[in-house]
A and B are shown apart, each in its own frame.
Chain A
């Protein structure tokens, strides 16, 4: 279990996967919990299918909005390769929650590089706590593959027991369109409960 007195979460993925919404969702929950919070986003060029990171820092008083090498308590990874790419940003013994989905970057698509096959095995053997799940599959079960971000945040929520369900609910409402709320709520619950089993 983690707590909100000092929590740095790095959200990593591929441009277009919805990392920005996930960071807004978590940021809103922290603010509603009465904490100081800063969220750093990336816009522009790197969103075109590039590697993207957003930082969410929660605590009593936050200065820098950026999470740097060795500063993250948790990495929420939307894609395997991005999980291992940003590993140096994790504190020793920190937690990685990763979607097992693979998205080939252009050098792999074009055959100039190979997608590493052993990422999950290496992470398992590393000095971290690892949670893996098929967030894409779970999101599809809920009716939208776009809800990967909310599934993953559900997993993270299951590790923050001090935040009550009502706050997650209100935060989710503040970041997704009303007509998409039901699907996203279902996806969030999938994430919350996937960790239990």
Chain B
């Protein structure tokens, strides 16, 4: 029976059908739902790891022990996992090991749009790229087979539009996977120079064998669809789907395996068509390879390497055509609708205070990156997971070198602090820094849609688990000034930030209040503005709460979205805001 599955659900189903035993991941859009769906299968051990490096190592350990294992992450997560990835490419596996990466062209929810295919190339690890849910399911199963048959990790690469699109997929039953016997093998698993030199030879020989495998179209990964031979298009993943829409008449070489590439298949296809085009998102990965083979080909001459492709872009760039659209009878100015901090968000108080204090804020990755937006414009930097802490230290040390001191704080969420903030904090203490780190502890991983983490006291399967005590952790690494504050008590919070910035030693403020979207968070009735008391000063608007608005000069609260958190009460000097008793 066919079922409508999200690409990510289909990867989870494929792994389950392949008999996967151990899955360890760190959440990240657009990969999160893979692991969330695997967690629903009782037969699989599944966990959220503190970061992608740990997740990858857990999966490697499980594979070496003889199980089938998997880890899932977004594209930037592979940067964190790159260390184990490049060496597991040498050791190979015992049970099958698949690393799933979801790239985010167009940066729907990311800080860059790096192209993960280069990881496959530089680590010499085979990479498969599905183009719909059925292939997500099938290729995941195939990836486990390739992993075991060739003694290699396999990367399965998705992009947002494959990960987050639903299409029909045929389901089958789970295989009974038999654990491979564990055998101690230092030449294979202990990567000291003497052994690693030998394994590098193995890696290169393996790549040759994988290339031969990729030439065989019967494997179902690389498929040639001959049609009109005037135009031949080489493509893969979601770009294949766009190609079929815009060029239904063209011949297509669809690559399901993007590393290593099938040279003979490409050569033959090129010879059989008059004009050869590569349609791929992001970097000219396939195009450059084909050109290096000495084949005349075009691609990025027409199609940008920035953002996503779509049928409009492809049609316009190559054919110079545009579909006819409905048009408005007259032009209407449509204001943008950027994402905002939710009503009742515990971060709102923090960013109002920081903006008000005009301190430099070293930011991080999470919902709270929105503190960079109007009306707060509080956040100065955002680079990668954990960078807030170490960058604040770098800023403070740079200033000190010139005899200056700009008031600076780092802000980082609880899950991000577990991911890679703690190492930066150790650096601050160890190297006699004086930085102030504010941990925004909202008791959940917020932006990716409420995943548990080591501080929440629950596992991915909602079993009780020991919760990391952030106060004790900070103290244990040597921070003497650790305090817990409520970000909704803005006066007290501001005083705390001022005191800690002035202190000539490292400090940690834990801003503790749960995410407003958590089910157990209830503030009661919505707040109202008493129009008789209101002096129309507009101070309440500075909080940037979507529930407070200006209705032709009258300030009002939208009761349908107000959570009743009462933060705005503190903004009103005239006592006009409050709840009806």
CB distance from B246 to the nearest CB of A (A): 9
Chain A nearest Cβ from B448, distance in angstroms: 7
Q: How far is the CB of B164 from chain A (nearest CB, A)?
A: 5
A62 located at the interface, meaning its Cβ lies under 8 Å from any Cβ of chain B in the complex: yes
Contact residues in B for A15 (Cβ distance below 8 Å)? 339
Are A116 and B332 in contact, with the CB atoms below 8 A? yes
Which A3-52 residues have a C-beta within 8 angstroms of B?
14-16, 24, 27-28, 31, 36-51
Is A173 in the interface zone, CB < 8 Å from B? no
Verify B168–A31 contact, CB threshold 8 A: yes
Bound complex: CA of A50 vs CA of B370, how far in Å? 12
A87 cross-chain contacts in B, Cβ below 8 A: 325-328
CB distance from B21 to the nearest CB of A (A): 28
- B462 in the interface (beta carbon within 8 A): no
Contacting pair A38 B166 (CB below 8 A): yes
Which of A38, A89, A113 counts the most chain B CB atoms within 10 A? A38
Write the nearest CB–CB distance from A33 to chain B, whole angstroms.
12
Q: Measured between C-beta atoms, what is the minimum distance from B492 to chain A in Å?
A: 27
Out of A36, A43, A107, which one reaches B449, CB within 8 Å? A43
Residue among B161, B167, B245 having the largest count of chain A Cβ atoms under 10 Å = B167
CB distance from A95 to the nearest CB of B (A): 10
Which among A122-130, A160-168, A178-186 touches the partner chain? Answer: A122-130
Chain B residue with Cβ nearest A104: B549
With both beta carbons as reference points, the residue of chain A lying nearest to B4 in the complex is identified as: A31
Cβ B164 vs Cβ A64 within 8 A: no
Interface residue A114 (Cβ < 8 Å from any Cβ of B): yes
For the complex formed, measure the closest distance between the CB of A43 and the CB atoms of chain B, giving whole angstroms.
Answer: 6
- Contact, CB under 8 Å: B333 / A116: yes
Extra A-B contacts (20), CB below 8 Å, given A106-B544, A122-B332:
A27-B166, A37-B168, A39-B165, A43-B30, A43-B109, A46-B108, A46-B109, A64-B242, A64-B244, A64-B311, A65-B132, A66-B310, A70-B323, A81-B335, A84-B328, A85-B337, A90-B326, A91-B325, A123-B328, A145-B560
- Structural contact, B245 and A64, CB atoms closer than 8 A: yes
Query: Is the Cβ of B342 less than 8 Å from the Cβ of A49?
Result: yes
Given contacts A39-B166, A64-B242, contact A48 B335 (CB under 8 A): no
Contact B109 A68 (CB under 8 A): no
**Hey, what's the 0/1 contact readout for A77-90 against B, CB within 8 Å counting as 1?**
00001101101111
**Residue A92 lies at the interface, judged by CB distance under 8 Å to chain B:** yes
Inter-chain contact B339/A50, CB cutoff 8 Å? yes
Does the CB pair B327–A49 fall under 8 Å? Answer: no
Q: Given known contacts A38-B166, A68-B311, A84-B334, is B326 in contact with A48 (CB within 8 Å)?
A: no
Q: Which residues from chain A contact B374 at a C-beta distance below 8 Å?
A: 106-107, 110, 112
Tier of interface size on chain A: 35 or more
- Point out the residues of chain B lying under 8 angstroms from A24, CB to CB: 166
In the complex, per-residue mask of B240-264: 1 if CB is within 8 Å of any chain A CB, else 0: 0110110000000000000000000
Find the residue from B2, B168, B242, B332 having the highest chain A CB count within 10 A: B332
A170 CB–B CB distance under 8 Å: no
**A82 CB contacts on chain B under 8 angstroms:** 337
Assuming A46-B339, A49-B342, is B324 touching A70 (CB within 8 A)?
Answer: yes
23 contacts between A and B (CB under 8 A): A14-B337, A27-B166, A31-B168, A38-B167, A42-B164, A43-B30, A44-B30, A44-B108, A46-B339, A48-B339, A48-B367, A66-B161, A66-B310, A66-B311, A70-B325, A84-B332, A84-B334, A85-B337, A94-B326, A106-B338, A106-B546, A122-B329, A123-B329
Task: Give min CB distance, B145 to chain A, whole Å.
Answer: 27
Chain B contact residues: over half helix, strand or loop, or mixed?
loop
Q: A28-B4, A66-B161, A111-B541 are in contact. Are A106 and B337 (CB under 8 A)?
A: yes
Complex interface: chain B residues within 8 A of A45 (CB) = 29, 108-109, 339, 447
A126 to B329, CA, bound (A): 5
Checking A89, A122, A145 against B328 with a beta-carbon cut-off of 8 angstroms, the contacting residue is A122
A84 CA to B33 CA, complexed, in Å: 32
CB of B477 to closest CB in A, whole Å: 31
Chain A neighbourhood of B464, CB < 8 A: none
B244 touches which one: A40, A63, A68, A107 (CB < 8 A)?
A: A63
Q: Let me know if A141 is at the binding interface, CB within 8 A.
A: no
Chain B residues whose C-beta falls within 8 Å of the C-beta of A113 in the assembled complex: 333, 335-336
Contact present for B335 and A41 (CB under 8 Å): no
Q: Is the CB of B4 within 8 A of A109?
A: no
Tell whether B330 is near chain A: CB-to-CB under 8 Å.
yes
Given A68-B310, A71-B311, A116-B332: A105 and B337 within 8 A (CB)?
yes
Chain A: minimal CB distance from B522 (Å)? 17
CB interface residues, B 204-227, toward A, < 8 Å: none
CB-CB nearest in chain B for A107:
B335
Interface contact B541-A91, CB-CB below 8 Å: no
Q: A43-B30, A123-B328, A125-B330 are in contact. Are A109 and B550 (CB under 8 A)?
A: yes
The reply to whether the CB of B322 lies closer than 8 angstroms to some CB of chain A is yes
A18 to chain B, nearest CB (A): 14
| A195 located at the interface, meaning its Cβ lies under 8 Å from any Cβ of chain B in the complex | no
Of chain B, the residue at the smallest CB distance from A110 is: B375
Are A48 and B108 in contact, with the CB atoms below 8 A? no
- With A51-B337, A64-B311, A109-B548: A69-B165 Cβ-Cβ less than 8 Å: no
CB proximity to A under 8 Å, residues B415-445: none
Report yes or no: B325 in contact with A69, Cβ–Cβ below 8 A. yes
Point out the residues of chain B lying under 8 angstroms from A36, CB to CB.
Answer: 167-168
B165 touches A115 (CB 8 A): no
Q: How far is the CA of A161 from the CA of B85 in the complex (A)?
A: 54
Structural contact, B329 and A91, CB atoms closer than 8 A? no
A124 to B, closest residue via Cβ: B329
Shortest beta-carbon distance from B467 to chain A in Å: 26
